[in-house]
Each structure stands twice: as structure tokens, then as C-alpha cells.
Amino acid sequence: MGLTEDRERFREVGETRREDLAEFISHGDLGGSDPDRIRIPVKIVDLPAFEYDRRDAGGVGKGGDGQPQPGDPVDPEPGDGDEAGDPGEEGGDHEYYEMDPEEFARELDEALGLDLEPKGKQVVEEVEGDFTDTARAGPRGALDVDEFFKRGLKRHLATDFDEAYVREGLFVAGADVDDVFAWARSEGIPVSRAWIADAAATLADERGEPVAALDRWESFDALDEGVDREPVTHRIRREGLDSVPFRREDERFRHPEVIEKRERNVVVVNVRDASGSMRETKRELVERVFTPMDWYLTGKYDAAEFRYVVHDAEAWEVDREEFFGIQSGGGTRISSAYDLVEELLEEYPYSEWNRYVFAAGDSENAGSDTRDNVIPQMESIDANLHAYVETRPGDGAANARHADEVESAFADADDVAVARVSEPDDVTDAIYEILSTEASGDGNAAPGGSAAADGGERR
């Protein structure tokens, strides 16, 4: 088998496995897996294999030198026949592929084209990184010499000036120290009056006459036209630097950067309508949507916690085993579930936890409960994503408006998803609708697009 054929077979194997994954989610036995080990039935596909060239091994007949002669019978290879043997005791494990949640998440990303990159929130460790931070205090051995020199040089450049040019101002006819100082300042020259006074005194001593009597220039304008002021940088390049005036406040000491390691943690609150209208078929559709998403988020995050809430007209918390099977005969008031969700999430501050609220039902709700209560509750509960899954195998009741009302209220939100499932073949589309909404959002906004300040709770 050539290299091209090998690649083609491996590609077929990958496509087959993704098809098996989608088939498993929509129609497979989800109960055969647990949160840490997912068993997915797979089609048996022969992988490419290399074989030795056996052209020098001789024939299979009884002729001399191992070469067959005309008329010789051909003996079968041992074990090739249909002879009786002991029945096999091995199970069909070779027909299942086992994967952990991390691999499941990667496979689902590949199968559905998802791209969810969880954000770390809770700080679990602070470590020292490179010495890139600086402070005004520290041990002498940590002095940042380069920074120290640059600060001193910067001050030198800011305070240096062309002394010969300023001294020339003393030769303007009739100009005294105050006149020269005013002129220098108007030219942006950082010179002090004391320096000019010292220069004037020196010139008066050297020439034996007052500075006001020095009349080389008629005016300061004439001086500006006759003398070019040399930039400080040019003079430094020509003459170099004898010294740099360092000060204590120029000192900076290197410190290691403090790096916060954040755990990518998540809490998922799954909510399900358990009223009398939620028959077995609807409950199974909820399980087919929620179970793979639980596995997916477990694989995506470093730590994942799951809480399960069921409701009719009232809400209560249950364990996972009860969640998908429990049924009551009561009515439906979805807001009761969100009251409990808000209470549960107090244990998981939004500044420290990624939070998902996934609800499912047949869209039946009492009166105006969705508009008056549920929608405001969804707006007030900070979460990476709110989702509602409508399970309606047949025509819904007249009051089955919850999904439509939620969808209308949050039409412009990038952190609210509504999905509809009427049969198992809709499951993977629903999962994509929900998870792709989270992947496309920033994961830190409250419903309606309002960002939570500083990653904290929005109230």
C-alpha cells in the first residue's frame, strides 16, 4: 500500500469516527458511559499496515526445494480452516472506542466545527516570572543599571544647553543679566539666572568693563541671525560626556513579574421541567442534549461542577440520576427554577467561576411568568451563557411560548441561546447552536450584552 493510499485510509478512519460520534449522541446508549469515561460504538475499520516482502520464502507445495510440482495437493495453513474450536470468551470491546472528556471535547470540536477557548478565573497560584517589573526600592544587587543610566541621561539632556550661545547674549548692546535671562527663557533654553550672573561676572573680570558695555550685537534678533545654536545631541556626539548627573530618585530596582495562574473552572446548572407534560420522549431528548454538553465542558475546563434543578410549579435540587427521569403531575412555573439557580450560584462568585445555566422543557409556562419573571431573572443572573432547549416532539400546547419569548427578548444578545429539538436527529444541531454561541461571545457579559465590571457580578 502506497503512502497516498495510507493517508486516504487514515482520513476515512477519522471521518468514520466523527460520524460514529454524531450517531452516538443522537441515537446511542448514553447510559453506558460515565462522567469520566465515554464508550462510543465504532464501525470496524481496518487500519493500514505494513507487511514484509515474502518473495524469498519459497512455495507452499511439497516439491523439492519448496517449489510446487504439477498435481501436488496444497495443504491449508494451520488455523485457516473452519475446524471446531473453543468458543471465544472475549467480549465485544473492540467495537467500542473509549475516550475521556478531554478527548471527547476535541472530537466534538472537530465534528461540529466548534472553537471554545475557556477563560481562567479563579487564581490558584502566584509564581515569579522574569525580572521585568521595577520599583523604587530593593536590594542593591537588583539595581537596574540600564534604567538608572537612562533616567540620569534623560535629565542631563533636558537640562543641558549651549553655554557658548547663551554667553553670546551678554554681548548684545545694552543688555544686562535680566535681559539675557528673559531672552534665553523665551528661546526655551533651560538656563538659570544665577548661571547667567556668574557668566557676566566672569566676562566683566576678563575684560575690565561692565557687561552692558559689550556691544558685539545690536540686538538679540541680530544675534539669532548671526549665531546658530548647536543642539545638545550634536555636541554630545562631538565631545562625548564627562559625567551624567545621577540622583537617588533615578534608581530603579528589578523585581520578578508576579504571574497569576488561574484555574479554568466552571459550574453548570442544568434545569429541567418535570411537570406532567414532560413525558418520556421529551425527557430523553433533554438527556441527549445535556449529557454530551456536560462531557464537553468537563473536558474543556480544569475543574467542573454540576448542579441539577427540576421544577413544576416549584423547584428543587436533585442528583444526576434523578434529573433525567423524575416526573411530577404539577403545573409549570419556570421562574421558580431561576429563583433556586440564583441561590445556588451564590456559592460560585462570577468573578471566580465560569457559569452556565442550561434549561430545558416543552416551552409551556404559566401565564405571563416568562415575560414578567424569567426574562428579568436571566438578565440579573451573571453567566457565560444562558440556554433554553425546547423539546417538542409533536405540536405544542397553546401556552407553549416560552422559547419564542426568550428568543425575542434576547435577539441581540451574544450570550443567550435558544435551541429546538423535536427528534434525536436534531440533537447535534442543538448542541452546536448552544456551544457555538458561547464560543463566539466573550464569555464575560451578562445577558443582553452588558459586560460585568472587572469580571465581577453585575447588579
Percent of the chain, pLDDT > 90? Answer: 32
> For position 337, what pLDDT does the model report?
97
Q: What pLDDT, on the 0 to 100 scale, is given for residue 6? A: 45
Looking at residue 437, what DSSP letter applies?
A: H
- Cβ 291 vs Cβ 343: under 8 Å: no
Phi, psi values for residue 386, rounded to 5°: -105, 135
Tens of pLDDT along 293-305?
999 999 999 889 9
d(CA 300, CA 106) in angstroms, rounded, equals 9
| pLDDT value of residue 246 | 57
Torsion of CA 19, 438, 314, 309, to 10 degrees: 60
Alpha helices by DSSP H, 256-389: 280-300, 320-323, 335-345, 369, 375-380
Cβ–Cβ < 8 Å for 307, 270: yes
Domain ranges of the chain: 140-252, 260-440
Identify the burial level of 47 via C-beta atoms within 10 angstroms of its C-beta, where 0-12 means exposed, 13-18 middle and 19 or more buried: exposed
Compute the distance between CA of residue 427 and CA of residue 415 in angstroms, rounded to an integer: 20
Q: What is the pLDDT along the chain (459 residues), one digit of tens a residue?
A: 454 554 454 445 456 667 778 888 888 888 878 878 898 877 655 555 555 555 555 555 455 555 555 555 555 444 444 444 444 444 444 477 888 999 999 999 988 888 788 777 655 555 555 555 566 666 666 667 566 567 766 766 666 677 888 888 888 888 888 998 998 888 888 888 898 888 888 888 888 777 767 788 888 888 888 888 777 666 666 655 555 555 666 667 776 666 667 678 999 999 999 998 898 999 999 999 999 999 999 999 988 999 999 999 999 999 998 998 888 778 899 999 999 999 999 999 998 899 999 999 999 999 999 999 999 999 999 999 999 999 987 766 667 899 999 999 999 899 999 999 999 999 999 999 999 987 665 544 444 444 333 434 332
**Which phi-psi region, left, alpha or beta, contains residue 427 (left: φ > 0; alpha: ψ -120 to 50)?**
alpha
The cell numbers describing 217, all together, are: 550685537
Report how far Cα 99 is from the mean position of its chain's Cα atoms.
Answer: 24
Cell of 28: 446511542
Beta bridge partners of 219: none
Alpha carbon distance 360, 271 (integer Å):
6
Q: Are 354 and 376 in contact (CB under 8 A)?
A: no
End-to-end CA distance of the chain: 65
Q: 374: part of which helix (H) or strand (E)?
A: none
Residues pairing with 438 in the sheet? none
Amino acid at position 7, single letter: R
3-state secondary structure of 76: coil
Task: Return d(Cα 168, Cα 142) in angstroms, integer.
Answer: 46
The pLDDT of residue 200: 86
Q: Look at residues 340, 147, 177 and name the one whose alpha carbon lies nearest to residue 246.
A: 147
Query: Residue 342: what pLDDT?
Result: 97
**Using CA atoms in the order 400, 406, 411, 415, what is the torsion angle rounded to 10 degrees?**
-130
Question: Which of 271, 305, 293 minimizes the C-alpha distance to 433?
Answer: 293
Cell of 9: 485510509
Over the stretch 373-384, which tens digit does the pLDDT of each residue have?
999 999 999 999
Q: Could you give the dihedral angle defined by the CA atoms of residues 272, 278, 284 and 288, in that order, rounded to the nearest 10 degrees?
A: -40
CA dihedral 210, 211, 213, 218 (to 10 degrees): -170
Look up residue 58 and give its DSSP letter: -
pLDDT of residue 82: 42
The CATH number that domain 260-440 falls under is 3.40.50.410
Q: Which residues contact 83 (CB under 8 A, 6 or more apart)?
A: none
User: What residues contact residue 189 under an 8 Å CB cut-off, 6+ apart?
Assistant: 161, 162, 165, 166
Residue 359 grid cell: 434549561
Query: Strand, coil or helix: what is 20?
Result: helix
